[in-house]
Amino acid sequence: MSVLRLIASFSVLASVLVLGATAAAQPAGPEPPAVKLTPPKLLSEPRVDYPAGARGDARVVLTLVVDRTGAVTAAIASDVNEPFSSAASAAALEFLFEPALRDGVPVAAKIRMELVFREPPPPSVDPQDDEAEQPPEPEPEPEPAGPIEVVVRGERAEPSRSASLSRAEVRQIPGTFGDPFRAIEALPGVTPIVSGLPFFFIRGAPPGNVGYFLDGVRVPLLFHVGIGPSVVHPGLIERVDLYPGGYPARYGRFAGGIVAGETTEPTSRFKGEYNLRLFDAGAMVEVPFADGRGTALVGGRYSYTAFLLSLVSPGTLLEYWDYQARVTYDLTREDRVGVFAFGSYDFLGQVTETSTLTLFGTEFHRVDLRYDRRLHGKGNLRTALTIGLDKSSVQQDRSVVSRLLGGRTELTQRLDEQVSMRAGTDIQFDTYSVELGTNDLSPEATRASALFPSRTDMAFGVRGDVVVTIDDRLEVTPGVRADLYASDGASAVGVDPRVAGRLTVSERVAVLSTFGVAHQPPAFVVPVPGFQPGGLRGGLQRALQQSLGLELDLGDDTLLTTTVFQNAFFNMTDPLGASEPELDGCAPGTFPAESLAGDYVVSRDNPPDCAARFEPGTLGPDRSGGGGQAASSRGGRRAVDLFEVRTLGSAYGLEVFLKRKLTRKFGGFVSYTLSRSTRSYQRRQYVAAFDRTHVLNVAAAYDLGRNWRAGGRVMFYTGLPTPPNPFEPDKTRLPPFFRADARLEKRWQLSDTAWISAIAEWMNATLNKEPVQTECTLAGCEAETIGPVTIPSIGLEGGF
């Protein structure tokens, strides 16, 4: 049988316990003399032959004893998983290390190491997946019991990827409820709209310009009922990466940022996860079949909010569910076929005596058929066909239905030791059927109908980039993608050059830089299935994105990244951020100029918000009737107009991200963003409506022992811009906001692989209210707050 050499990754998971240096692990007491410890460094190539007769993937955690010469004298697997355990142990005995040093003197050391067997290789694996592994790092203590953390497979992070969180880490971040996608709000460059609302501005780009992908398939709706849990079971997510700008060429059609989730690799063993919370329950199970050549996974979540709400609010109906299914089958060692399906359903309705009226309903379904072929160990080729259905419904059975048909090819090929190539094409057809009713001739309905016509959209893209490694210190990735868009008789082409670079200054220091152009058709405010403006009215949006960063490996699983960025946006659609800050109501001394003697006047060319009050000593108008008594609902009236407004924008700032793995005994991160985002419209430049100067997240998780784990998180950000008011002319911002989240988990290890946890989590445990705008009355102007938006949660999670 052919032997696959596929150690794609290896990583030291836990401890280096330098023999004779155990004092470092002692509890509090007199501080021992400072001892400089240097962990062993791997000198040999960490390759292990894939065991003959084995199937699927496996990971083995070894405890190695490295003697003073650097030889491995013992290699013991922590779990029995044959034939992988034996293969790993045997191979590890051949590894050669540079011995550990104590104050410069070689000493014996004990380390833990994880070896991951992958067969066949993961599809669409980037070439750098095969890069040399990172050297082992010392760890103070073994990992706590629990699910093994998914390890990034020795992959050298792409320069445009500002942060990556594994599922195991996300579980430790309070306030995320274990949802990997929800954790995005804590990352640098991400500016929340409102605390708890999982839609974000990323480096100044609005939520509609942020693309969400799962295994390369775009996800049209990420969160249930807009603010609920994500539509994909967290157990299926291996990790989530954030690309805030200058992203790789494989990502396109979004001129903001990219949030990319990767699902877990198919596994050769029977495994599952389940959770039970106050409002929903979910489960996921994966089983191998055909002697491990195939795997089948099903998962989903169901909310029983309908039942709960019926107890407290019988007139309201709210329900949601989602599902995921995946089947893979290895035709040969080089060929795998698979299907991945996922979908989601949300419904908000009003229950009457005779029927249930739809207030808002949305659903989407995706089926991705895949064929993956490994190219002689030097690359991968994926060919995929995606079909989908999106549907959103509103009152009176108005609805938008979109049917999707798309195909794509993705090629990853190593050309030689220094050059790898990534290329691909894709084409997608979206057929929209919009049911508006034909008798509504109101201006708003007419305008909305023009924005969302029934039609078929087409997008075709070609892209490619090469990863060039020069002298093992400089890695440059130039690339380009071109997209052709057609919609409702209009067409446009976007050509997006990209380049990214990584300069390794030293073993622990690297300089990262990115530059990219990104195009995108007009976007809706937030992702809603089926709601894509049609006709390319106003042309494509365009963004120029660039960043320069410094990455510093502080050791001990701690990484510090600082990045400066600058984005420029052209022709952008940003209904959220493009509006100048405005008061709720008119400031004392002014009145709504849109109302004149009760008659309604709107002028877009000369928008008269509030005009000076009538001159003292003169008579004011009689404004009885016709809306003249309290005409202040300007925002809603302009919402439709805002979709047609195109603005210029810019954003620049500094990001700092200090992270120590949250799965460590003590882990956490500090994420800070200092930025400024502006918009220009009709020759006026102003601070974007959702600009926040400072955004700070500090999170920490600590293993209390006995399988208790506690975590806390503080989120702070600057208030939104506010227009000047006559009482406080110097005040330009609403008050800042902060909240504190908490999490406590108790885990029981039921067997080698089975576990169950009880988790209490509370987002905004401090019950802080958030200022959202300035409200003016005759008595003056003050901040108007909402909330407190707080989510306490108690639940059970388990797995096997």
Partner 1 sequence: MTPLCSRLIASVVVLTCLACGAQDPPKAPPCERECQDAVALRALREMAKLVYNLKLQGQPVGPQDATTPCPLGGQARVFGEAYSNALQGSTEVQLSYVFETCRYLSRDDEPGENYDMTLDGTLSQVGTLAVQPTASTALVMASESMSFAGSVYDPPLAFNELECAVSLGQSGNSLAGFICDREAGLEL
Using CB under 8 A as the binding rule, the residues of this chain from 391 to 430 that contact partner 1 are 392, 394-396, 398
CA–CA gap between residue 470 and residue 417 (Å, rounded): 10
> Residue 45, Cβ neighbours under 10 Å: how many?
11
Q: Which is nearer to partner 1, 497 or 598 (CB)?
A: 598
Find the binder of partner 1 among 32, 437, 489, 780 (CB under 8 A).
Answer: 437
* CA-CA-CA-CA dihedral for 394, 399, 405, 406, to nearest 10: -40
Q: Closest distance between partner 1 and the C-beta of residue 316, in Å?
A: 16
429 Cα distance to chain centroid: 26
Give, in order, the Cα–Cα distances in Å from 175 to each of 24, 181, 742.
33, 12, 7
Stretch that binds partner 1, among 158-166, 312-320, 600-608, 620-628 (CB under 8 A): 620-628
Q: Residue 26 or residue 438: which is nearer to partner 1 going by CB? A: 438
- Residue (175 or 575) nearer to partner 1, CB: 575
Whether a cis peptide bond, with omega within 30° of 0, leads into 788 is yes
User: Segment 684-713, which members bind partner 1 (CB under 8 A)?
Assistant: 689
93 binds partner 1 (CB under 8 A): no
Query: Secondary structure of 53-95 in the HEC alphabet?
Result: CCCCCEEEEEEEEECCCCEEEEEEECCCCCCHHHHHHHHHCCC
Q: Which of residues 719-758 bind partner 1 (CB under 8 A)?
A: 720
Does residue 526 touch partner 1 according to CB under 8 A?
yes
Residue number, 20 or 589, with CB nearest to partner 1: 589
Q: Min. distance of Cβ 731 from partner 1 in angstroms?
A: 17
Residue from the set 45, 79, 103, 444 that interacts with partner 1 by CB under 8 A: 444
Kindly tell me which of 34 and 612 has the beta carbon lying closer to partner 1. 612
The length of the chain in residues reads 800
Residues contacting 174, CB < 8 A, separation 6+: 699, 711, 712, 713, 741, 742, 743, 761, 762, 763
Subset of 186-245 contacting partner 1 (CB under 8 A): 193-194, 197
Q: Give the number of other CB atoms < 10 A from CB of residue 629.
A: 10
Q: Which is nearer to partner 1, 311 or 619 (CB)?
A: 619
- 112: amino acid identity, one letter: R
Out of 417, 441, 506, 684, name the contact with partner 1 by CB under 8 A: 441
Exactly one of 279, 304, 371, 524 binds partner 1 (CB under 8 A); which one? 524
Nearer to partner 1, 63 or 774 (CB): 774
Min CB(579)–partner 1 separation in Å: 7
Closer residue to partner 1 (CB): 293 or 447: 447
Which span sits near partner 1 by CB under 8 A: 380-388, 407-415, 490-498, 617-625?
Answer: 617-625
Task: Give the interface segment with partner 1, choosing from 120-128, 318-326, 590-598, 700-708 (CB under 8 A).
Answer: 590-598
Shortest distance (Å) from residue 409 CB to partner 1: 34
Q: Of 93-101, 132-140, 332-340, 769-777, which segment contacts partner 1 by CB under 8 A? A: 769-777
Pick between residue 395 and residue 418 the one whose CB is nearest to partner 1: 395
Nearer to partner 1, 540 or 631 (CB): 631
Instruction: Quote the least distance from Cβ 392 to partner 1, whole Å.
Output: 8
Closest approach of partner 1 to the CB of residue 517, in Å? 28
Please state, in angstroms and rounded to a whole number, the distance separating the CA atoms of residues 467 and 478.
Answer: 7
**Chosen residue from 127, 229, 522, 585 binding partner 1 by CB under 8 A:** 585
595 and 579 in contact (C-beta within 8 Å)?
A: no
Q: β-strand 257-263 against 210-214: which pairing, if any?
A: parallel
Which residue lies nearer to partner 1 by CB, 399 or 425? 399
Stretch that binds partner 1, among 59-67, 278-286, 509-517, 584-592 (CB under 8 A): 584-592
In this chain, which of 50, 254, 591, 717 binds partner 1, going by CB under 8 A? 591
CB contact set of 186 (below 8 Å; sequence gap of 6+): 173, 175, 176, 669, 671, 697, 699, 713, 715
Among residues 20, 32, 620, 792, which is the contact residue for partner 1, using CB under 8 A?
620
Among 65, 283, 448, 674, binds partner 1 (CB under 8 A): 448
Residue 498 · residue 246 · CB < 8 Å: yes
Pair of tokens at residue 365: 């379904």
Listed in order, strand segments (DSSP E) in 215-315 are 217-218, 237-243, 257-263, 271-276, 280-289, 294-303
- What is the β-pairing status of strands 791-799 and 780-786? unpaired
Q: By CB under 8 A, name the one of 21, 415, 784, 787 that touches partner 1.
A: 784
CA distances from 462 to 99, 231, 372, 407, 537 (A): 49, 29, 19, 12, 23
Which of 335, 556, 582, 644 binds partner 1 (CB under 8 A)? It is: 582
Question: Is 510 in contact with 560 (CB distance < 8 Å)?
Answer: no
Give the residue with the Cβ less far from partner 1, 194 or 482: 194
**Residue 634 belongs to what H/E stretch?**
helix 634-642
With respect to partner 1, which residue has the nearer C-beta, 334 or 488? 488
356 makes contact with partner 1 (CB under 8 A): no
Q: Which residue lies nearer to partner 1 by CB, 297 or 689?
A: 689
For partner 1, the binding residue among 277, 623, 665, 739 (CB under 8 A) is: 623
287 binds partner 1 (CB under 8 A): no
**Closest Cα partner for 65 from 133, 21, 13, 113?**
113
| Stretch near partner 1 under the rule CB under 8 A, chosen from 134-142, 474-482, 625-633, 697-705 | 625-633
Closest residue by Cα to residue 503 from 534, 525, 471:
471
DSSP letter, residue 193: S
Q: How far is CA 619 from the centre of its chain?
A: 58
773 counts as binding partner 1 under rule CB under 8 A: yes
Contact residue for partner 1 among 10, 117, 452, 485 (CB under 8 A): 452
Does residue 316 interact with partner 1 by CB under 8 A? no
Considering CB under 8 A, how many residues would be counted as binding partner 1? Answer: 77
Nearest to 710 by CA among 721, 718, 701: 701
DSSP secondary structure code for residue 264 in this structure? P
Which tokens is 77 given?
């697997």
Asked if 264 touches partner 1 (CB under 8 A), the answer is no
State which residue, 501 or 592, has the beta carbon closest to partner 1: 592
Q: Which is nearer to partner 1, 608 or 792 (CB)?
A: 608
Q: Which of the stretches 172-180, 621-629, 655-663, 750-758 binds partner 1 when contact is defined by CB under 8 A?
A: 621-629
The phi and psi torsions of 581 (rounded to 5 degrees) equal -55, 140
**Residue the block writes with tokens 């004779």:** 20
